A and B are shown apart, each in its own frame.
Chain A
Amino acid sequence: MSPPPVAWRTETVPVAGIGLHLAHAGSGPSVLVLHHDIGRPEPSPFDDAIARACSVLAPSHPGYDRSSRPDWMRSVRDVAVVYQWLLGERDLTRDLTLVGLGFGGWIAAEMATMAPRAFERLVLVGAMGIKPERGEIADQALLSYIDYVRRGFADTRAFDRLFGAEPPTSVLEQWDLNREMTFRIAWKPYMYNPTLPYLLGGVATPALIVWGRDDRIVPLECGERYAKTLPHARLEIVDGAGHFVDMEQPDELARLVTRFITEG
């Protein structure tokens, strides 16, 4: 039997001159879910699963999907500050868990360094933001929209199931718009902030680092470094998942996240 559908409410709020698109659902502990670089036009099964146990706030990043593009924005830290602004204005920071998926994980990590004791918990899933010492972060500038997203799955049949073997042009156009915004704020250095590792040591927030065993976008060594550098972190590796753990193993990831939020 499939679980009951989750009722999402949406609104667009002004922050820093941006029309920020927000989706919320559920009740319980507060969770901010930050999406991948490819965007998330609609709430996903993973978002639904979290919303069954928590009160979820899921924004579209500035310039992604339905949020307007701030022409002035130049860095991932700018995005992090916009979210701090949003949370501060709504008095949401206390008791909040940040869940960052891939690129969203980088934003969450930046937010944690800005307010090292403010958040309840931090979850980083296949997070960008740290330069690998051995491998490389897969560069979407060199890959087609389809090849890049396919590469994020351990089993590409999961891609076919979610997007179709040949995603419609409208989906590709949205990926292109989101990719353009990613370039605007994370072109060089590509997908990491060289100063971030030096700042993570001050983060007092308990952290769960989750990595798909077959992540071919961000090497697992980055997860190991996050786990080592953040003072209160542990690493969980999910089998049968690539970079998009939330899309490939949504229930398993939701189980890990909700257990982490509710454990003492």
Chain B
Amino acid sequence: MHLMYFTEQPMSAYDEKAGLDFGATALMFSNRHFDPVAGSRLYNEYLEHYRLAEEVGFDGIMLNEHHNAPFCMQAKCNVFASILAATTKRVKLVLLGNPLPLADNPVRLAEELAMIDMVSRGRLVSGFVRGGGQEQLAAGVNPAYNRERFEEAHGLIIKAWTQTGPFRWEGAHYQHRVVNPWAVPLQTPHPRVWIPGVLSKETIIWAAKQRYPYIALSTEIQATKKIWELYDKVAQETGYAGGPEYRGYLQRCHVAETEEKAMANAKQFMWMQGEFTGLAHPVWSSPSGYFSPSYRTAFVEYAVGRRSNPRGASFGDQIQNQQIVAGTPKTVIPKLRRLLEETRPSIMGFWASDGFVSNEDTKTCIRLLGQEVLPALRDIGKELGLWSPFEANAPTSIHFSEPARPKEPR
């Protein structure tokens, strides 16, 4: 198993009432509510948490980014990945990921990621995402070409990593006279690519065709099983067998010394889901052309308030269906076993706390996860044969059958 620590990096230090009054805490919710003094403190606390996660035994640190919203302070995952590349020793730096369509120059991303890979001595896993709906608006990027830009930028980055330059790129959305970045990744053939997602079938199919692991972001168990059915079907059509090494899952999981405390802190997972402050704005989160055409009716109805957020469910329901797991190590392990038995992922992200959970409680949670939960999960993983892509020496992609490894000195 590959066990990762994750936080959304919530910026909870703002006037909640202002968010409620405005009716959304996204895109147009004014950044006058951002307090850089609190921001400075929180960024440094999050760095402390990441280092603690390495210390207590996590295999990886999962990073992401979002824009113009307090639920995630991380505006550039490559910045934190750069810091962690230099300040951690062992953990994989798993970026899930860089939003490719937002990039006007993917070659620049290829360079940044190559630098992170070299500084970390080959510990980079470079996931890619489409970016949220409102992020297309925040970046001024056309939502109607989101998927086209994603696929083209991906192709350009992989080519920049695997073929020597200079070469020319004349695509539909990117044109480069000269692609010849001086920095290239330490890992060969190139750093592993994992693709996270939550809803779009197109992304699952695309990941399976590339033979990239897909990371299901906190989906409900039955929905997760459907994802693997689809992934495995496409894998088979593509000419390989799906399995645990292609399956990842991000689990909201808060652990404390007592059930009561764990449950109280776990309620903070609802903070970014809208119960306390409102998260998404239905129009900004689903601009025309961004979402999958097969969900057009659902998103159109959501945008005008005729349907609730397709992603939303109550706290009670999410505890019941295990989208949120909370308790003492003793009570969460059987629940996580159920998840592993039913959906068989080899990559697990632990989204350990959110919202207003205190610095001390978050550190306790990380410690308890590392000392008590992770060892139990490793045993279960062995028992169930859940070998991670690293353990299974899985191919880097459909185009490169060898596993990604740091290059040896010449």
A→B interface (CB under 8 Å) = 141-146, 169, 172-173, 176-177, 179-180, 182-184, 187-188
A145-B142 in contact given A169-B306, A183-B289 (Cβ < 8 Å): no
Contact B303 A144 (CB under 8 A): yes
Contact B144 A187 (CB under 8 A): yes
A180-B289 in contact given A142-B28, A169-B301 (Cβ < 8 Å): yes
Q: Which residues of B contact A146 (CB under 8 A)?
A: 304
Contact A145 B28 (CB under 8 A): no
Residue-wise interface mask of B (279-296) relative to A, using a CB-CB cutoff of 8 A (1 in contact, 0 not): 000111001110000001
Q: List 12 A-B contacts (CB under 8 A).
A: A142-B137, A142-B283, A143-B283, A145-B304, A169-B306, A172-B301, A172-B304, A173-B296, A177-B296, A180-B144, A183-B142, A183-B143
Q: Does B36 contact A (CB under 8 A)?
A: no
**Shortest CB–CB separation between residue A62 and chain B, in angstroms?**
14
A184-B289 in contact given A142-B283, A144-B282, A169-B306 (Cβ < 8 Å): yes
**Shortest CB–CB separation between residue B295 and chain A, in angstroms?**
11
User: Which secondary structure characterizes the binding site on chain A?
Assistant: helix
Contact A145 B300 (CB under 8 A): yes
Interface residues of B in 256-286 (CB under 8 A from A): 282-284
A142 CB contact (under 8 Å) in B284, B289, B299, B306: B284
Q: Which residue of A lies closest to B143 (CB)?
A: A183
Contact A176 B300 (CB under 8 A): yes
Q: Which residues of B contact A188 (CB under 8 A)?
A: 140, 142
Determine the distance from Cα of A176 to Cα of B299 in the docked complex, in whole angstroms: 10
Q: Which residues of A contact B283 (CB under 8 A)?
A: 142-144
Contact B288 A176 (CB under 8 A): yes
Residue-wise interface mask of B (297-331) relative to A, using a CB-CB cutoff of 8 A (1 in contact, 0 not): 10111011010000000000000000000000000
Contact B144 A169 (CB under 8 A): no
Contact A145 B303 (CB under 8 A): yes
Q: Which residues of A contact B297 (CB under 8 A)?
A: 169, 173
Q: Which residues of B contact A145 (CB under 8 A)?
A: 300, 303-304
A180-B301 in contact given A169-B306, A187-B144 (Cβ < 8 Å): no
Q: Which residues of B contact A143 (CB under 8 A)?
A: 283
Q: Which residues of A contact B300 (CB under 8 A)?
A: 145, 169, 172-173, 176
Q: Ordered nearest first, which 4 A-B pairs have the shortest CB separation?
A: A180-B289, A179-B288, A180-B288, A187-B142
Determine the distance from Cα of A144 to Cα of B301 in the docked complex, in whole angstroms: 10
Q: Which residues of B contact A176 (CB under 8 A)?
A: 288, 296, 299-300
Determine the distance from Cα of A18 to Cα of B297 in the docked complex, in whole angstroms: 25
Determine the distance from Cα of A142 to Cα of B26 in the docked complex, in whole angstroms: 12
Contact B137 A141 (CB under 8 A): yes
Q: Which residues of A contact B140 (CB under 8 A)?
A: 188
Q: Which residue of A lies closest to B136 (CB)?
A: A141
Determine the distance from Cα of A177 to Cα of B296 in the docked complex, in whole angstroms: 9
